[in-house]
């Protein structure tokens, strides 16, 4: 088979994504951010934010069905739901308002974020969400748990959700940080996608070079996690299982915004693992989606043509460290 040929496997894989703490993100573009000064800016752009939602949106753009679950509240929550009317969602409504964040993007692509605290979620609202999740799990093949777990939520939620999904034979993807990530990996999800900082926190070892990333990934694989994919920004991806280790190098592209790039990689992995016949091809596709995403404004997604163009230039090689 040619190095650039992908063999597709016909498969329709139902995906559930969970966003515990979605937001309305307000994007402001400036030439250069200078503290303590007046900035005259173009009209701010208001968009839906949330890592699981971003994954579902990218899957939707790729033609892959998913159901987005999570919490929304108040008039902001109503607006958020309305913006996702072309997708399948089933959010649990809460009394408190969905949060609003401000993201300032400079001409060189540097991002400065101002994130609001998460709304409180009542016990009855949690119970309603759990019932929704349990109702969908028997019909799903993948559960993507994405984003931070706020202080108002038990950090063991992801761990417990992974165990619940396993009871239904559902594979889990975990893309989180902090205590939620540390506890989540103990439940042995199928796939974990840390960045370099998160990998260092998980393993307790400094991660600077690709060799460090592969060592850390293999450390997690040895605990029983099937697949670890480490995102390294402009340096690409590292993927590791007990039998295969790959490194994906991506082409240089103009960076418009890094918002949602990691979420695009998760969506690319979910799509690639269901559509392509090898891990190598799936990793190449995920790297292409993540790279194409940084060329887009805000939470918009690249076209399939843009992804395919980058895909041709992604180099994936067996790890020989």
DSSP per-residue codes, 53-100: HHHHHHHHHHT--EEEEEEEEHHHHHHHHHHTTTSEEEEEEESSPPEE
Instruction: For the chain, list residues with pLDDT below 70.
Output: 1-13, 321
pLDDT confidence of residue 151: 87
Give 132-167 pLDDT, tens digit per residue.
999 999 999 999 999 989 888 899 999 999 999 999
pLDDT confidence of residue 7: 37
Catalytically active residues are 263
pLDDT confidence of residue 109: 76
pLDDT confidence of residue 99: 96
Q: φ and ψ at 25, to 5 degrees?
A: -100, 125
pLDDT confidence of residue 5: 35
pLDDT confidence of residue 298: 74
pLDDT confidence of residue 12: 41
Give 242-269 pLDDT, tens digit per residue.
999 999 999 999 988 888 899 999 999 9
Mean pLDDT of the chain: 92
Q: What is the three-class DSSP state of 24?
A: strand
Helix (H) or strand (E) holding 311: helix 304-311
pLDDT confidence of residue 6: 40
């Amino acid at each position: 088979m040619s190095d650039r040929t992908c063999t597709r496997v016909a498969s329709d894989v139902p995906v559930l994504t969970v966003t515990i703490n979605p937001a309305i993100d307000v994007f402001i573009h400036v030439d250069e951010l200078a503290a303590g000064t007046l900035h005259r800016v173009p009209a701010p752009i208001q968009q839906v934010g949330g890592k699981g939602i971003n994954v579902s949106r990218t899957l939707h753009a790729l033609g892959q069905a998913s159901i987005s679950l999570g919490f929304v509240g108040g008039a902001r929550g109503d607006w958020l739901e309305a913006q996702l009317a072309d997708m399948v969602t089933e959010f649990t409504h809460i009394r408190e308002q969905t949060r609003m964040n401000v993201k300032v993007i400079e001409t060189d692509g540097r991002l400065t974020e101002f994130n609001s605290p998460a709304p409180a979620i009542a016990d009855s609202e949690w119970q309603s969400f759990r019932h929704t999740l349990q109702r969908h799990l028997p019909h799903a093949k993948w559960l993507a748990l994405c984003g931070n777990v706020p202080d108002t939520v038990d950090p063991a939620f992801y761990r417990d959700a992974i165990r619940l999904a396993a009871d239904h034979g559902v594979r889990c993807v975990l893309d989180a940080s902090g205590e939620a990530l540390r506890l989540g990996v103990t439940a042995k999800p199928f796939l974990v996608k840390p960045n370099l900082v998160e990998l260092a926190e998980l393993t307790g070892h400094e991660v600077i070079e690709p060799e460090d990333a592969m060592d850390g990934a293999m450390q997690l694989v040895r605990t029983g996690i099937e697949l670890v994919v480490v995102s390294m920004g402009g340096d690409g991806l590292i993927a590791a299982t007990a039998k295969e280790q790959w490194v994906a190098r991506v082409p240089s592209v103009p960076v418009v915004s890094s918002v949602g790039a990691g979420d695009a990689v998760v969506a690319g992995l979910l799509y690639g693992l269901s559509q392509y016949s090898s891990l190598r091809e799936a990793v190449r596709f995920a790297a292409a989606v993540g790279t194409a995403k940084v060329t887009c404004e805000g939470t918009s997604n690249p076209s399939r043509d843009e992804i395919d163009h980058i895909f041709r230039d992604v180099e994936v090689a067996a790890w020989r460290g």
